[in-house]
Amino acid sequence: MTRLRLLSAAALFAVAASAQATSFVVTTDAVVNALKATSDATTNIVSSSFKDDKIVLAARDDAASFVATEGSIRGVKLESALDHIRHKAPQLSATDAQLAQAILTI
């Protein structure tokens, strides 16, 4: 009887651990997919709206430095481009990092 209880408890534990792992994976996938969708939308808006904009195009090197250093280096041209983008597209709610990545795709 003790062996049966021990095996039952081990099986129950294995099922519970599997359910938690699956729940974590599903939650993580949902968060990552939501962030990717936001990033893709930002890139599409910035790429299509500002592809010929001289201020934005001039900020590509600064955007590359910003992205490469994870925000440590913020060039003057990038700051100008970020202000310009936010002024021209106030409905866009993107972080500086998302906008810098979008500038790089132009």
Mean pLDDT, residues 16-33 taken together: 53
For residues 47 and 90, what is the distance between their CA atoms, to the nearest angstrom?
A: 16
The domain in which residue 79 lies consists of: 2-105
- Say how far apart CA 77 and CA 57 lie, in whole Å: 9
Most confident of the following: 20-34, 47-61, 92-106: 92-106
For residue 67, give the amino acid letter.
V
Q: Name which residue leads in pLDDT, 92 or 49.
A: 92
Give the angle subtended at the CA of 80 by the CAs of 51 and 38, to the nearest 5°: 55
- Count of domains for the chain: 1
Residues with Cβ < 8 Å from 77, sequence gap 6 or more?
55, 58, 59, 61, 62
Q: Calculate what percentage of the chain has a pLDDT beyond 90.
A: 28
What confidence score (pLDDT) does residue 53 get? 81
pLDDT value of position 106: 80
pLDDT at 46: 60
- Residue 61: which pLDDT band, with cuts at 50, 70 and 90? very high
pLDDT of amino acid 50: 74
Please give the structure tokens belonging to residue 70: 């994870």
H-type helices in 1-106, by residue range?
2-49, 54-58, 60-68, 76-88, 96-105
Top-confidence residue, 83 or 33: 83
According to the model, what pLDDT value does residue 16 have? 61
Q: What is the pTM of this model?
A: 0.55
